[in-house]
Chain A
Amino acid sequence: MITFIYYLFCAYIVALLIWNYVEENNIYNEILYAFVLMPFLLRVFRIN
């Protein structure tokens, strides 16, 4: 149950990061979001 909520939470953060990435105008923040996205996406896919 906790695991399920955890994955939902991860997916939510992924969605927020992608949303922020699309809206962002500053190149450094864009790079930051693209990098921060990686571990969360890998976790949502249950790869790491």
Chain B
Amino acid sequence: MSNKTIRKIIIILFSIIMMIVAGREFLIRLNQREPIVKGPGVTTIAKLSDYFEDIKGTIGDTDVYIMDGDEEGGTVLIISGGHPNEISGVLTNVLFIENANIIKGRVLLIPFANNSGFTAGHPGEAYPMRYTINTEWGSRWFRFGDRWTNPLHQWPDPEVYVHYPSGQSLSGFDIRNLNRCFPGRENGTLTEKVAFAITQLIKKEKVDMTIDLHEAEPMYPVINTIVAHQRAMDIAVFAEMNLSAYEGIRIGKELSPENLHGLTHRELGDYTDTFALLAETCNPIQDPCRGRTDENLLLTGKDDFILKAGKLGLLFVPFDENGSPVDERVGRHTSTVLELINSFSELYPDKEIIISNVPRYSEVIEKGVGHYLLEPEGNL
């Protein structure tokens, strides 16, 4: 063999090794699934494809946890993971799934709404692949995904995304943004089909109230707030008053803009009978001015650059050295969800929903999210 051939073999071997190293990480991201414990209150675990056959066998299919109460009452749906990089909603849903006891009514939960987005990271953003929550018995890990559907599963993006059915023009990449695709389209893209399936679920299960959980960057004006469809505004107003009066949680409320299409709080309220609401907490890892992007930032929300931005008055939330820890964000969401359910129950007593055993703001902050996570069977 000539020197040249040996050289070529060495170089290509080196390239293959690098491909294996990188490819292994990508494959883990594509296939990893965190364990979720079926809590004592969970009656059945359905699939989103049960409501729209077309997504069966696709990455868009996802688990729907159904918790039936002892007495009949109203039905609430809690969605998280519509944006897979907004972790406080996912953790809130997991706390409900693993702890809640439903006394009256029904609770449906979709923790990983855009399942495809959980298999990707955002190119160039240095997102960690997963994060770990410490508990008293060990630790639990969860996927950290991208805001958008994985381009492997839906490609290519158009130059301009025309929302169906409003015809509103949006950025091309938002065709992969689940929270710009509602009410969905039966024969549309994967993301539109997932949105369509959720809309079908709301119709078939006669969901009285839908709460969509999100997070936003501190420089974004819609943060630490409840966004409500006009029919759901009363519920948001009562919840906001109770949250500030009894728990000292400062939260805003906003009316869903009539002309901003594709979002849950607009389209689900317009196209179904559900009361549509959305809640936002503060997640500094989403902010473009952040510094080092790692699991620590994701969980503590501490960042010197954002702190500096806050001192310059550029943020829409109070922000100090304590950052925006995940326990606080999840606590805000659990209290907000519970308070929205209480307000709904007071306004519509014949559709009352009563839930016990879900920790509120102060309890989550005191004991930490990990305290409320169960140990999966066969966990090593």
Contacts and interface: CB of A to CB of B under 8 A. Distances in A.
Interface of A: 2-3, 6, 21-22, 25, 27, 30-31, 34-35, 37-38, 41-42, 45-48
A42 B18 contact: no
A30 B7 contact: yes
Contacts of A37: 15
B11 A42 contact: no
B23 A30 contact: no
Given A38-B15, A41-B19, 10 more contacts: A30-B8, A31-B11, A34-B14, A34-B15, A42-B22, A42-B26, A47-B27, A48-B22, A48-B23, A48-B152
B192 to A, nearest CB: 16
A2 B157 CA distance: 11
A47 B30 contact: yes
B4 interface: yes
Interface string B18-62: 110011001100100000000000000000000000000000000
B12 interface: yes
A6 to B, nearest CB: 7
B156 interface: yes
Interface of chain B: mostly helix, strand, loop or mixed: helix
Interface residues of B, number: 17
B155 interface: yes
A31 B227 CA distance: 54
Interface in B72-89: none
Nearest to A30: B11
B156 A2 contact: yes
Nearest to B15: A34
18 contacts: A2-B155, A6-B155, A6-B156, A21-B12, A30-B11, A31-B11, A34-B11, A34-B14, A35-B15, A38-B15, A38-B18, A42-B19, A42-B23, A42-B26, A45-B23, A46-B152, A47-B23, A47-B26
Contacts of B22: 38, 42, 48
B4 A25 contact: yes
Interface of chain A: mostly helix, strand, loop or mixed: helix
Contacts of A34: 11-12, 14-15
A44 B18 CA distance: 16
Contacts of B12: 21, 34
A34 to B, nearest CB: 4
A8 B14 CA distance: 26
Nearest to B155: A3
Contacts of A38: 15, 18-19, 22
A48 B152 CA distance: 7
B135 to A, nearest CB: 33
Nearest to A22: B8
A24 B355 CA distance: 70
A1 to B, nearest CB: 11
Give 7 nearest A-B pairs by CB, closest first: A34-B15, A48-B26, A47-B26, A47-B23, A34-B11, A38-B19, A30-B11
Nearest to B156: A2
A35 to B, nearest CB: 6
A45 B26 CA distance: 11
B8 to A, nearest CB: 6
A3 B23 CA distance: 21
Contacts of B156: 2-3, 6
A23 B243 CA distance: 71
B2 to A, nearest CB: 11
Contacts of A21: 8, 12
B125 to A, nearest CB: 15
Nearest to B24: A47
A29 B203 CA distance: 60
B202 to A, nearest CB: 31
Contacts of A45: 23
Contacts of A6: 155-156
Contacts of B23: 42, 45, 47-48
